[in-house]
Structure 1
């Protein structure tokens, strides 16, 4: 009797594991936000940094690691809005359009040495060295790839006015 119960319990456990495997495989492709070596592809455009992107519920989470796997900072972006996440050595030195970085007085951004380390259709991330040897990260909306249409100047005010009389 005990032998049968053990066999049934073992069979039930194996069945549950077998059914759970496809569900786990169908999960997000990258996991491990905040980890040194997350289970996500490195999408950095620079050989000096590792950048990992995670997506959930329409929000893009971008994490920057140095070459040793140390988390340097992370932020969330959605619909042109940015939120710096409180993780990484340089979390206070992430600049977004909504939040300036905390940089010590007298420290200067060496903008001419800035390097784009990640860019997609909505987000651009640059690493900007600072005069004290640290790095600031600038997260902004990605500039449009196609040139914007420029309206031709209008010399006749009647034609330029959108209202028809």
Structure 2
């Protein structure tokens, strides 16, 4: 009888463990999006910023943190479309092709100090300091013209010359 009971307990334990593993795998991934120091690789192109990229169901989520780990902006990207996520200190100061920022008459961008903080085959993210001390972010899709190396010799590059 005790042998039968121990087998039942063992089987019940294995079933319970199997259900727990199934439940954990069906739960959303805890990838760190929104955290100060997520468990992800920093892919920033600039040492003053930390950029983390997460992927889920064909959507890439990009999060930008400052040097102190403060979340500044986050957005989702898929197929050239961008959606700003409502998180980070500068969530209202990120421009996308779908969402432009209003121009303030008293605040001007200091474009000569623009820095690219992230760039891949489908997008580029720039940081622009503003004259009032704030920071603006701008994300744009990469086009074939931005992926092609510039031509140094117009005679070789222009297809219209004979």
Q: TM-score range by the shorter chain?
A: 0.7 to 0.9
Residue number in structure 2 paired with 1:58: 58
* Structure 1 residues 111 and 31: CA distance shift in structure 2, 3 A: same
Alpha-carbon shift at residue 8 of structure 1 (Å): 4.1
Assess if the C-alpha contact under 8 Å between 1:93 and 1:103 holds in 2: no
Alpha-carbon shift at residue 102 of structure 1 (Å): 5.2
- Mapped to 2, the partners of 1:144 and 1:35 lie a distance apart of 32
Alpha-carbon shift at residue 34 of structure 1 (Å): 1.4
Alpha-carbon shift at residue 58 of structure 1 (Å): 2.2
Q: How does 1:114-129 map to 2 (within 5 A)?
A: 114-129=114-129
Q: What is the number of equivalent residue pairs in this alignment? A: 149
CA RMSD of aligned residues (A): 3.0
Assess if the C-alpha contact under 8 Å between 1:92 and 1:102 holds in 2: no
| Structure 2: gaps of 5 or more residues | 152-156
Alpha-carbon shift at residue 153 of structure 1 (Å): 5.6
TM-score by length of 1: 0.74
| Structure 1: gaps of 5 or more residues | 155-165
TM-score by length of 2: 0.75
Residue number in structure 2 paired with 1:152: 160
Per-residue Cα deviation, 1:28-72 (whole angstroms, up to 9, x for no partner): 7x8122121222111001111100111222222111011221110
Alpha-carbon shift at residue 10 of structure 1 (Å): 3.4
